Amino acid sequence: MKGLARAFHSHRLALRLALLVLLLILPFILKESWVSLANEMLIMALAGCALNIMLGYTGMVSFGPAGLYAVGAYATAILLTRYHSSFIIALIGAPILAGIAGVIVGWFCVRRSATYFALLTLAFSQIIWTIIFEWYDFTGGDNGIVSIPIPEFFFTISHCYYFTLAVVGACVLLLWTIIQSPFGKTLQAIRENPGRTEFIAIPLKRYQLAAFVLSSVFLGVAGSLYCVFSGSVFPDYAHWVKSTDMLVICLLGGFYNFTGPIVGSVVYILLSKIIAKQTMFWMFFLGAIIVFLVLFMRNGIVGFLADKFSPVTDPAPGSGKDGGGR
């Protein structure tokens, strides 16, 4: 195992390049349905990474990320259908509106911690769901909004895929930069010991709110991407079951590692599709997997692997740490 670990580390750069190449040539080597699946995986990966800012890095357990995700999706949908705005505006509007929603929701939720915080996020996301569901005139109610006028360019699956890849790639890079910054370190300190951070002159609630808003913005981008991808939006985008999907993705991949949600997204969506093809009771197996995860693999896949593959001593800080860990 150690030999494998060392090989993995010394060829990190090569492996990453290989992955990049693979992602770029994907549409040429896979069938369209698989490319579409990959598209979905990328979007959920972004949603997972966004949620993980709060969850894994700041230690704030939210039960309601889907609410902000749906705000992004509906923002793009409504801007395109109702206000006939340009595509760019519709795209940019999503994270902005999701961010604003994040400020409002976050301000209330952050006033409490742990269980109460989680319940507040749940309540707010259900309010968002209810508003979307009931406000028929504006949001189409439970019919959702379909046939959204996205540019014809995106009707081709591979075009859509590359677009998603570009946006998700840029966002993930941005998130990675933020995590590596002093701000990111401060968030992690908050996760480790929120009370202590006030003793080092950090206004705790303000930073927690910032993490919440940051999460919301990128969740909004993910929602917007899905709107473009599927051409329609539905109230269920805001439902707490969707939130749970996102939480499971983070847990499955491992929320103490940056790449965790990405791995989690790939595995989760893959598993769901594969199992769904085999049996109509696929949710049973999903439930069983989830239970297994919580009981036996709490650090997720990447966490599990990181334990096995981590170097004998921790690398010294500032010496260029392995990209997948911390």
Partner 1 sequence: MILETQNLVKSFGGLTAVYDVNLRIQEGELASIIGPNGAGKTTLFNLLTGHLPLDSGRVIFQGRDITGLPPHTISRMGIGRSFQRLNIFPRLSTFDNVQVAVFSAQRQSRNLFSRASKLARRETEAILDSVGLLDKKGVKGGLLAHGDQKRLEMGIALAVEPTLLLLDEPTQGMSPRESAEITRLIQKLVKEKGLTLIFVEHDMNVVFGISDNIKVLHQGRIIFEGKPEEVKNNEEVQRIYLGEEKDAWSSR
Partner 2 sequence: MTFEAAAGQALSGISVGMVLFLIAVGLSIIFGTLKVLNLAHGSIYMVGGFLCFGFTSALAQVPGAFWWTLILAPVVVALLGGVIEILLLRRIYAQDVLYQYILTFGLILILGETCKFIWGVGYHTVSVPWPVNGKIPIWGLSFPVYNLFLIGCGIAVFLGLLALMRYTGLGRMIRAVTFNREMANALGINVPRVYTGVFMLGCWLAGLAGTLMPPMSVVALGSDMAVIIECFIIVVIGGLGSLPGAFLGSIILGLLTAFGIYIIPKLAVAFAFLLMIVVLVIRPWGLMGKPE
Residues that bind partner 2 (CB under 8 A): 55, 61, 63, 108, 111-112, 114-116, 118-120, 122-124, 126-127, 130-131, 134-135, 240-241, 244, 247-248, 251, 281, 283-284, 286-291, 293-295, 298
Instruction: Dihedral sign for Cα 126, 257, 166, 162, please.
Output: negative
Compare residues 159 and 191 and give the one whose CB is closer to partner 2: 191
Quick note: the x/- pattern for partner 1 over 203-222, rule CB under 8 A, is xx--x---------------
Q: Quick check: 316 binds partner 1 (CB under 8 A)?
A: yes
Quick note: the x/- pattern for partner 1 over 172-191, rule CB under 8 A, is -----xx-xxxxxxx-xx--
Q: Quick check: 199 binds partner 1 (CB under 8 A)?
A: yes
DSSP H helices in the chain: 2-10, 12-29, 32-52, 65-81, 87-109, 114-134, 136-139, 157-179, 182-192, 194-198, 204-230, 240-253, 260-278, 282-296, 300-309
| Number of residues in contact with partner 1 under rule CB under 8 A | 33
Quickly list DSSP for 169-219. Answer: HHHHHHHHHHHTSHHHHHHHHHHH-HHHHHTTT--HHHHHHHHHHHHHHHH
Output the six-digit token pair for 132: 């979307």
Output DSSP code: residue 315.
P
**CA 89, CA 80: separation in Å to the nearest integer?**
9
Question: Shortest Cβ distance from residue 155 to partner 2 (Å)?
Answer: 35
Task: Say how many residues make up the chain.
Answer: 326
**Is residue 135 within 8 Å of 65, Cβ to Cβ?**
no
Among partner 1, partner 2, none, what does residue 295 contact (CB within 5–8 Å per kind)? partner 2
Quick note: the x/- pattern for partner 1 over 260-299, rule CB under 8 A, is ----------------------------------------
Question: Shortest Cβ distance from residue 139 to partner 1 (Å)?
Answer: 33
Q: Quick check: 118 binds partner 1 (CB under 8 A)?
A: no
Contact positions toward partner 1, by CB under 8 A?
Answer: 177-178, 180-186, 188-189, 192-193, 195-204, 207, 256, 313-319, 321
